[in-house]
Amino acid sequence: MQQFDLQLSNITLNHDVEYLNDILDGVLRQEGGEELLNTFKHFRNLSKALRDDETTNNFDLLNKEIKKLDSRLREKIIRAFSVNLQLYNIAEQNYRIRRRRYYQMQDDTVIQPRSLEEGVNQLFDNNISIEQVESALEKLSLELVITAHPTEATRRTMLRIHQKIAELLKQREYSYTRYDKKVIREKIETEITILWQTAEIREKKPSVMKEVSNGLYYFEKVLFDVLPLIHQDLEDLLEDKYNHRFHVPSFLRFGSWIGGDRDGNPFVTAETTMQTLREHRKLVLSKYIESITKLREKLSQSTKKVNVSGALVKSIADDQAELNYNGWHKEDEVYRVKLGLILRRLRLTSFEDEAGYRDSHALLDDLLLIQESLEMHHPKSNPIKLLRKVIRQVELFGFHLATLDIRNHSGEHENTIAEIFRLVGIAKDYKSLDEEEKISTLISVLEDPRPLISIYDEFSPEAQEMIETFRTIKVAKDKFGERAIEVYLVSMTTSVSDVLEVLVLAKEVGLYRVYPNGRVRSRIHVAPLLETIDDLKFGPTLIKRLFDIPLYRKHIEARGDLQEVMLGYSDGSKDGGNITANWELFKAQEEIHSIAAEYGVKLKYFHGRGGSLGRGGGPLYSSILSQPVITLGDGVKITEQGEVLSSRYLLSDIAYRSLEQATSVMLTSIGGIMQTDKQELMPTEEAYQALSYASDVAFKKYQDLVFGDPDFLTYFNQGTPLNELGELNIGSRPMKRKGSEKFEDLRAIPWVFAWTQARQLIPAWYATGTGLQAYLDKTNNIELYREMYAHWPFFQATVNNLQMALTKADLDIAEVYIEMIGDCEVAKRIFGQIKEEYDLTKKIVLEITQQEELMDHQPNIKESVRLRNPLVDPLNLIQVQLLNQLRLLDDEDQAYTQLLEEVLLTINGIAAGLRNTG
């Protein structure tokens, strides 16, 4: 194994990076002449030399050179570095694909870490029995939800070019002739030229339906094929290892918020949601037609050669009579006949013809009929994988493609309920009632089967839109199936009434009903979203109070005794700092899990993680490992946001790798729970106390700066490109709730995005060092931290994310940003605090991990950051120079528009280099 790892270490990125850089240099020469190329190479070489000089990280020389840069060349230099970073990302992804392939080329003694194969081997080696594996498979549930949160700075047009270059780079490895290599190089040069000649900045914000289209792109090009493959490979690997045929349930699904998330986004309406669902259905039906057409080409068996089932023959006759269509021109090729009839029904379904399929279960029944017949004459030991794949696709995607979650702010529900109650005479001023009065009023309304409103009632536009949203949910479930919309998420849930208000609105449209005998019928999950530190602390009390309400308990029973709870990572970190947010999230999960177990309720946690480290980001498998182990069997649901979509799901091989890592980790964790003889050593009571103490100290340190220092917001607003981010047009949703200028109404995405651009990444690490050091000062017990890091996945993930954040942060570059702050004393004072805390956090992280340098445990990532830095540094320095000039101009000034565009180009380039936006 060590020898193989050594071989892998020699498979570096350098070959692909140098190859692409050479082509880029040629494109730059063609597009801007020797002046552009030589200037770009000068800055690139100087930046690299400064980084390679270990005696100093002084960027004064580079900064002086950049300030002398001719404004004629400046935009092209920005774009050159940006494209260079984009190409580096492509090369790095190709390296990951090559690395996986090298593992697969070895014998079965060399297994890639966190692969499906390693996961299955761990189960077997740990003596997990067949029965225990089957039980673990039943508990296995991972749902990934794509969101429209504006964190993808790269246009989809450019992502498609990236995808094409990646495919060509992969093909290059299999080109053996000089001619093949020449053709591939020419094609890559063409794509890079097109990339250079394509506008990077969106001229206007995307519409919601454009965002829907962008999200569906990943389903169409990657996920529709990769998800079935994960299931199929897991089944095959388990069978090979255990010599037993397992049925792996459809545990891995994707959902979406795009077109359903209306929290703070006035452009998401009831009509938008319905249009989104139509687009989902249109795509999935077209993909089925494509898949089944391929299957028909394959299944050419003839009744002259094989015997088929009588049930299949009868179904064909019934279909032919009903559809008045033969299905296929050769009657003996019965599978082709049946598949032709299936295709006819699918096309009729897309036109909403009554002769089409009533639902996806009917399509699945037809496919299973073919499978059962094939088993009469085809070897069961080698089933037709294409048929298995199509069956799995239907199980996974139904006729809805991806379950659409609906989300809105609790205050919006309260406003609507107040208006309804005032109109019908239930409460003149519902909002002024105390919490107990609200709960009592809401329960009495829920217990009364009579509706409160009619189609003739007139409400304010806001209330009417809310009512139409709930009507749309009911129509969607009736039309597209129950799985089309399953969950209604309540942002900023701070009370029991926030949840009950949603049930009242659901009742008014027929989604919730109490019958005279007391039985409850409910067709929608209501999930509280716990976001701030206070909300997380109150979460267990909230859940217990809800479960103590008999009527709500009946609602839960009607939903299969399942309660979904969403946990927000972004606002918690913004509110209380990284370590406190993570610790409160961990504790809330454990406490809520215990409460649910007492009431016999199953839980599904929905983790609202962002792509960046300051918003709960990190590798997907690490996100899973950081949860309390006992909760993994409940099922895991995680948001996949912004740039995470392109970095994980643009290429099939990368998507497979990310999903197999998550699957392997979940399966082995659930399997490990079943080993009663192997109790977890961590977290011990001492570990709990250590982290609680560290969290309390860190929380005070964080709030003293962010909320206690009167000059902090000045530092943040002036010392980062916060105000310019809103011009980037990367999402339909406004940057702030209701256009408010209050800090608490600033969304977590621009909060994190701005700090990342300024290379400080404060939300991901600030105050953690002080917290950890405080407990160490109190006990002098560094060994406890080291035990926690070695044996507690949550603490290990937290510390490793800290390492990543500290590595991506660069306070030498960050110090340049403080020259934009008007008050020099404020700038120096606050930056000094940040620098002091950075050094302390780095010191204690290295003590805990016993490493010489950050990220020594992941040398590939460490090397990646090292190679990227010389390409990102010039962009940061140019950005500061541009922001200083821009902020002196009036936005009516002619030069303002050009400078702003250049600033936005630097933002895009830095985002590409750090692989993070919000």
The catalytic residue positions are 149, 574
Kindly state the helix (H) or strand (E) to which residue 603 belongs, with its residue range.
Answer: strand 602-608
Q: Please give the Cα distance from 290 to 277 (Å, whole number).
A: 20
Look at strands 142-146 and 562-568 and give their pairing.
unpaired
Q: Residue 356: phi, psi to the nearest 5?
A: -75, 180
Partners of residue 527 on adjacent β-strands = 489
Is 293:328 a contact under the CB 8 Å cutoff? no
Nearest residue to 763 via CA among 587, 907, 918: 918
Q: Please give the Cα distance from 276 to 273 (Å, whole number).
A: 5
To 10 degrees, what angle do helices 578-599 and 768-779 make?
Answer: 80
Sheet strand arrangement including 562-568: 403-404, 252-256, 142-146, 636-640, 602-608, 562-568, 525-530, 487-491, 406-409
Length of the chain measured in residues: 918
Contacts of 425-431 with CB under 8 Å at 24 or more apart are 426/452
Q: Please give the Cα distance from 610 to 748 (Å, whole number).
A: 9
Residue ranges with strand state E in 401-456: 403-404, 406-409
Q: Please give the Cα distance from 878 to 851 (Å, whole number).
A: 34
Structure tokens at 397: 């995607």
Nearest residue to 542 via CA among 557, 528, 563, 560: 528
Burial of 516 (0-12, 13-18, 19+ CB in 10 A): exposed
Q: Please give the Cα distance from 78 to 474 (Å, whole number).
A: 50
Q: How far is CA 320 from CA 291, 304, 309, 507, 582, in A?
A: 22, 21, 17, 43, 60
Residue ranges with strand state E in 82-175: 142-146
Kindly state the helix (H) or strand (E) to which residue 705 belongs, with its residue range.
Answer: helix 685-706
Is 806:842 a contact under the CB 8 Å cutoff? yes
Q: Please give the Cα distance from 82 to 910 (Å, whole number).
A: 7
CA–CA–CA angle 162, 641, 694 (5° rounding): 125
Is 777:693 a contact under the CB 8 Å cutoff? no
> DSSP alpha helices (H): ranges in 707-850?
712-719, 722-725, 748-757, 762-765, 768-779, 782-791, 793-808, 811-817, 824-849
* Residue type (1 letter), 254: F
Q: Residue 823: phi, psi to the nearest 5?
A: -95, 105
Structure tokens at 471: 């009507």
Is 770:837 a contact under the CB 8 Å cutoff? yes
Structure tokens at 520: 């409850």
Nearest residue to 349 via CA among 481, 501, 184: 481
Partners of residue 252 on adjacent β-strands = 142
The conformation of residue 220, written as its DSSP 8-state character, comes to: I
Radius of gyration of the chain (CA): 29
Structure tokens at 610: 């962002």
